[in-house]
Structure 1
Amino acid sequence: MEFRTRVKIDRPEFEIGPCEEMLFVGSCFADNIGRRFKEEKFRATVNPFGVMYNPASILHTVERTEAAPRVALFTLGTNHVYILNETGEIVDNCAKRPQRLFTERELTIDECVGYLGRAVDVLVGRRQDVRVIVTVSPIRYAKYGFHGSQLSKAVLLLAADKLVRERPGRVSYFPAYEIVNDELRDYRFYAKDMLHPSEQAVEYIWELFSEAYFSPEAKRFIAEWRPLKEALGHRPLHPESAEYRDFMDKTMLKISELSKKYPNFAL
């Protein structure tokens, strides 16, 4: 018997190698996943100018950063934007200024695709072999009301689908939204606010992502790095002891050997 629905993840036309140069831009879900990539020693830049929830702000970050990654991941949180009345420009952060200075509106599907497409073009201009993964954050926005939040997500899902169809081979879609809402349909997979995914849910998404996107070499690297990462995180009772010094000497020797095997690896 099968007690849950499984989300099918389409295999991309590329693989992510060990210690790849990557860029993560988007909602706080991008922060969670990006942090895990950094822990596994991918050369990841994660939201360099803060969390960006909408496609326009994702474009702004891509334009401002000098990153030229081999793989970029955009996590779409909402299609709601705030426009500064004085200039008519979409702002990325209201910086706690009075609400009366801004007008809130919702981007259309085509506007979302336009902003995201421009972001892809910027990255392609920096690196021809860049691949972009787009996903929709599973985090619901209670401030819109749950129906309003679903409408916003629907726009983003349709925009992501259109972007992938318009740029085959360049852009792929990873179903984080569907995994949380269709596979993990239980409140034990949510944090205390009952809105954000729990650490366990993020770990599960990481496992599915790595299975779909990582090259065999990347998987081998992570398996070899795992015991060394645990050794470095160990907090001894007697750090001054000869036994601990010997333990760390052996660990650093193994790390040196790993860096020779994987030239892009660095602590």
Structure 2
Amino acid sequence: MQLQTQVAIPRPLFAIEPFQKVLLVGSCFAQNMGKRFSEAQFQTTVNPFGVMYNPGSILHTVQRCTDCPAVAIFTLGTNRVYCWKETGEIADNCKKMPQKLFDEKELTIDQCVSFLNQAIEILKTRNPQVQVVITVSPIRYAKYGFVGSQLSKATLILATHRLLGLHPDCTSYFPAYEIMNDELRDYRFYAPDMLHPTEQAVEYIWEQFSNAYFSPLTHAFLKEWQPLLAALKHKPFDAESTEYKAFIAKTLQDIRVLGEKYGHKIDLSPYGDMGKHHNHDLL
């Protein structure tokens, strides 16, 4: 008996290696994935100019951001855009300004392809070996109505697959939208608003991405890193106890050894005083 419809993920032509530079631009789902990339010790830049929902705004971020990533991940949320009435330019963030200042429009498939193609060409001028992963956010937009949301997602998916034909050597499609809607089509995988995926659902999609895109060396590193990451997140009953201080010292020593093994300084700055002690005293 098969109780789940699984989405096949084609094996990409490249693999993501440990500590590589990764740029994530797109919707809120890009934020969720970016957090996991950062915790996995990739050199991660996530939406440096804020969350970007449409292909035009994703292009704007790539134009403004000077990063030269090995891998870029574009997470497309919608083909709906808000344009300044005075200039006709797409507003990446309306900044809670009056709606009367904007016109709401829908990008066509051709326009989506054009914006994303320009973004890829810019990245290729900075790094000819860049790989671009495109995915469609699984988050639905109730404010458009569910038929409108589906039409928007369909436009993005059609544009994406046309784009893959233009750049077969450096683009791939990761089916986050399809995984959420086909493999995880139970309401237990949705937050109380019935629109956003739960943490468990995001974690499942992350695992599917990791299995498809990470190299054997990356998997080997993460297998060693995960217990140390769990130790860093441990909340002690008594942070001043002798036992906890010994625990910290042992964890930091293990992290130092792991960094030396892979020839890379492990960034612990997000972990407060422990990170400062590691970076300043042990490496």
TM-score (norm 2): 0.93
Counterpart position of 1:118:
118
Pairwise CA distance, 1:5? 0.7
Letter in 1 for 2:263: P
Counterpart position of 1:243:
243
Counterpart position of 1:170:
170
Counterpart position of 1:78:
78
Counterpart position of 1:27:
27
1:45 correspondence with 2:45: yes
Residue identity over aligned pairs, in percent, reads: 61
Where does the alignment leave 5 or more consecutive residues of structure 1 unmatched? none
Counterpart position of 2:280:
none
Where does the alignment leave 5 or more consecutive residues of structure 2 unmatched? 268-283
Whole-Å Cα distance in 1 between the matches of residues 59 and 255 of structure 2? 37
Counterpart position of 2:59:
59
Pairwise CA distance, 1:244? 1.6
Q: Deviations over 1:148-183 (max 9, x none)?
A: 010000000000111111110210000000000011
Whole-Å Cα distance in 2 between the matches of residues 250 and 90 of structure 1? 52
Q: Please say if residues 255 and 266 of structure 2, whose CA atoms lie closer than 8 Å, have aligned partners that are also in contact.
A: no
Counterpart position of 2:277:
none
Counterpart position of 2:219:
219
Pairwise CA distance, 1:92? 0.3
Q: Please say if residues 41 and 265 of structure 1, whose CA atoms lie closer than 8 Å, have aligned partners that are also in contact.
A: no
| Aligned-pair Cα RMSD in Å | 0.9
Q: What aligned pairs does 1:1-267 form with structure 2 within 5 A after superposition? A: 1-267=1-267
Letter in 2 for 1:202: V
Whole-Å Cα distance in 2 between the matches of residues 60 and 266 of structure 1? 31
Q: Please say if residues 23 and 45 of structure 1, whose CA atoms lie closer than 8 Å, have aligned partners that are also in contact.
A: yes
Letter in 1 for 2:231: A
Whole-Å Cα distance in 2 between the matches of residues 253 and 109 of structure 1? 53
Pairwise CA distance, 1:232? 1.1
Secondary structure of 2:25's counterpart equals strand
Q: Deviations over 1:83-109 (max 9, x none)?
A: 101111111011111111111111110
Whole-Å Cα distance in 2 between the matches of residues 52 and 254 of structure 1? 38
Q: Please say if residues 191 and 197 of structure 1, whose CA atoms lie closer than 8 Å, have aligned partners that are also in contact.
A: yes
Whole-Å Cα distance in 2 between the matches of residues 262 and 181 of structure 1? 38
Pairwise CA distance, 1:231? 1.1
Secondary structure of 1:15's counterpart equals coil
Which range is displaced more, 23-32 or 93-102? 93-102
Secondary structure of 2:90's counterpart equals strand
Whole-Å Cα distance in 1 between the matches of residues 234 and 100 of structure 2? 51
Secondary structure of 1:82's counterpart equals strand
Q: Please say if residues 9 and 175 of structure 1, whose CA atoms lie closer than 8 Å, have aligned partners that are also in contact.
A: yes
Q: Please say if residues 74 and 132 of structure 1, whose CA atoms lie closer than 8 Å, have aligned partners that are also in contact.
A: yes
Q: Please say if residues 26 and 58 of structure 2, whose CA atoms lie closer than 8 Å, have aligned partners that are also in contact.
A: yes
TM-score (norm 1): 0.98
Pairwise CA distance, 1:265? 4.1
Whole-Å Cα distance in 2 between the matches of residues 264 and 28 of structure 1? 30
Secondary structure of 1:45's counterpart equals strand
Whole-Å Cα distance in 2 between the matches of residues 250 and 97 of structure 1? 52
Whole-Å Cα distance in 2 between the matches of residues 212 and 49 of structure 1? 29
Any runs of at least 4 consecutive aligned residues in structure 1 with deviations exceeding 4 A, and if so which?
none
Q: Please say if residues 238 and 244 of structure 2, whose CA atoms lie closer than 8 Å, have aligned partners that are also in contact.
A: yes
Letter in 1 for 2:234: H
Whole-Å Cα distance in 1 between the matches of residues 114 and 87 of structure 2? 21
Q: Please say if residues 73 and 133 of structure 2, whose CA atoms lie closer than 8 Å, have aligned partners that are also in contact.
A: yes
Equivalent residues, number: 267
Whole-Å Cα distance in 2 between the matches of residues 120 and 128 of structure 1? 10
